[in-house]
Amino acid sequence: MSELPPIPRPEQLPLPPAGGPRKIILPPHRERARRPWRIRAREWVNRNLFPSLTGTILTLVSAGFLGVLFIGVVWFVFFDANWNVITANRWLLFAGSFPREEAWRLWTSIALVMFLIGLAYGTWSSLGRRDSLFIVLTGGFVIFLMAHGDATIWSSIWFLAAIGFLYFGYYLTVWMPRETSPRRVLQQRVVGGLLAISLPLVLVILMVAGGANTRQFDGFVLNLILAPVGIVGGLVVAIPLALGRASNMKTIKWTCTAYIEVVRGAPLLGWLFVALFILDDIMGGDLIIRTMVVLAVFTGAYMAEYIRGGLQALPRGQYEAAQAVGLNKLQSMQLIILPQALRISIPPIVGQAIAIWKDTTLVTVILTLRELKGNADSAIAQSEFIPDRIEAYVFVAVVFWVVAFMMSRVSQRVERAQGIGER
């Protein structure tokens, strides 16, 4: 029997030619991504802009439309519009009849709120490059408005200081490691507590010791006061309502349902009508206080529905588990049910908060309160600015848009951080 050929050992296999390029095969999408950017750009354009004849036509039509729109906007903003109506009335728009010599109270409040926002960002999130760009642009816009013309240089300095406070608060908290530790818990508690008392604190700063009275809240300041009152008050009203509607006691369930449905049945203007004519008999008080009550009552009914949705979305097992570990009703609500239900209902609640922010404009319509839009009406009632209605309203729209857009972005970030919708 002849000898079998020897089995080749691994090290005896022929080596790849020395010095030649070593070919690494990547998955197709990585291979495509490695090509030069020119080719990738051309491919992107081909796929996204000119995929077919209809696609090309669509692109051309859209491009034409966008071009016309862009030229129109640029022409309006830089050549056609007369922005004097804004710059000449900026204090009117900003704070209206708020006494000017008490302006430091406003600026202190704004700096405080900015500081708290910075603290909150540093504690739970982080300022990305986009956020900073947005803040800088918004700040530039505000300062451009304020520093135009006479004696308002101080306002822009104040505003710069407020932005400085935002970053100060941010860097004060952001260095803390995010792992749970006693210090981290303390930090979260302190910042949360500060946020919780910020609204009364601001009202105190504005009103205490010879400050403004409630009738002097005016202009954009009024929007900035009414919206948080509506949101916070709404939440306070909404949680018991939602629990009541989900309750199995008939009387509680029915009255809460009736409340929610009746409030949701009429438009906000109708309820402000109530604040103006009917609530006066029931609770008296200043019109602005009545308006705040109505805003809270109105928002509460909508938020209650969203929280009820969160309660219903919780698996039955959560209730049973809470019972099984021996918690009583109050404890299980407070520790197990509500935290989860509120977490589920964050997105619609923020949506409602944005809605109430936009709806603060409605107090101008039938009430005698003058917020930003109402003061824009006063601005264009002056004889020299009568032709500048569009400019005034565009300005108001942009201001509201900026804040609403910021709120929606923050809500998206909270959703992502909480992992809502990912379970």
Half-sphere exposure of 138 (CA within 13 A, CB side): 17
**DSSP secondary structure of 259-292:** HHHHHHHS-HHHHHHHHHHTHHHHH-S-HHHHHH
Rounded to the nearest 5 percent, the helix, strand and coil shares of the chain are 80, 0, 20
Q: Does 420 bind another protein (CB under 8 A)?
A: no
Q: Does 422 bind another protein (CB under 8 A)?
A: no
In terms of Cα–Cα distance, which of 108, 111, 118, 107 is closest to 167?
A: 118
Report d(CA 136, CA 163) in Å as an integer: 9
Q: How many CB atoms lie within 10 A of CB 318?
A: 15
Report d(CA 87, CA 146) in Å as an integer: 7
- Answer yes or no: are the C-beta atoms of 380 and 388 closer than 8 Å: yes
Q: Please, what is the minimum distance in Å from the beta carbon of residue 141 to another protein? A: 16
- Answer yes or no: are the C-beta atoms of 302 and 229 closer than 8 Å: no
Residue numbers 337-366 binding another protein by CB under 8 A: 354, 358-359, 361-362, 364-366
**In this complex, which beta carbon is closest to another protein, that of residue 250 or of residue 316?**
250
Q: Does 281 bind another protein (CB under 8 A)?
A: yes
Q: Does 250 bind another protein (CB under 8 A)?
A: yes
Among 66, 133, 196, 417, binds another protein (CB under 8 A): 66
Among 10, 16, 17, 265, binds another protein (CB under 8 A): 265
Q: Does 396 bind another protein (CB under 8 A)?
A: yes
Q: Does 188 bind another protein (CB under 8 A)?
A: no
Residue numbers 294-333 binding another protein by CB under 8 A: none
**Lookup: tokens for 274:** 């109530």
Residue numbers 28-47 binding another protein by CB under 8 A: 47
Among 30, 33, 41, 48, binds another protein (CB under 8 A): 48
Interacting span for another protein (CB under 8 A) from 108-116, 139-147, 318-326, 402-410: 402-410
Q: Does 413 bind another protein (CB under 8 A)?
A: no
Q: Is 97 helix (H, G, I), strand (E, B) or coil?
A: coil
List contacts with another protein (CB under 8 A): 47-49, 51, 54-55, 58-59, 62-63, 65-66, 249-252, 255, 262, 265-270, 273-274, 277-278, 281-282, 354, 358-359, 361-362, 364-366, 373, 387, 389-390, 393-394, 396-397, 400-401, 404-405, 408
